[in-house]
């Protein structure tokens, strides 16, 4: 899954995902809950995580639109 696909699942723009993963914008509680449903982790993780921590959970998908983002289901 890439950033565009993830943005559609979360109901946000790809730009939002990109900026969030780079630490340029925050995450709403609603989006944190959706990320939790999809990837796991406590919702507070998504609100407080550093870009490096987000990338560790999301895999290579945090580095660009065309790269894959893995979910807990494989």
Ordered by where they begin, the domains of the chain are: 3-59 (1.10.260.40)
Please state, rounded to an integer, the average pLDDT across all residues of the chain: 82
From 8-17, 29-38, 59-68, the region with the lowest mean pLDDT = 59-68
Cβ-in-10-Å burial (0-12, 13-18, 19+) of 17 comes to buried
Looking at 23-66, list the stretches that DSSP marks H as alpha helix, in order from N- to C-terminal side. Answer: 29-39, 43-48, 51-58
Write the pLDDT tens digit of every residue in 22-43: 999 999 999 999 999 988 889 9
Between 67 and 30, the more confident residue is: 30
> Which pLDDT score, from 0 to 100, does residue 32 have?
93
Instruction: Grade residue 1 by pLDDT with cuts at 50, 70 and 90.
Output: confident
pLDDT confidence of residue 64: 45
């Amino acid at each position: 899954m890439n950033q565009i696909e993830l943005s559609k699942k979360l109901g946000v723009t790809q730009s939002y995902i990109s900026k969030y993963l780079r630490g340029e914008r925050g995450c709403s509680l609603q989006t944190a809950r959706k990320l939790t449903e999809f990837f796991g982790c406590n919702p507070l993780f998504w609100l407080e995580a550093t870009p490096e921590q987000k990338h560790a959970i999301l895999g290579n998908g945090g580095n660009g639109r065309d790269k894959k983002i893995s979910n807990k289901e494989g």
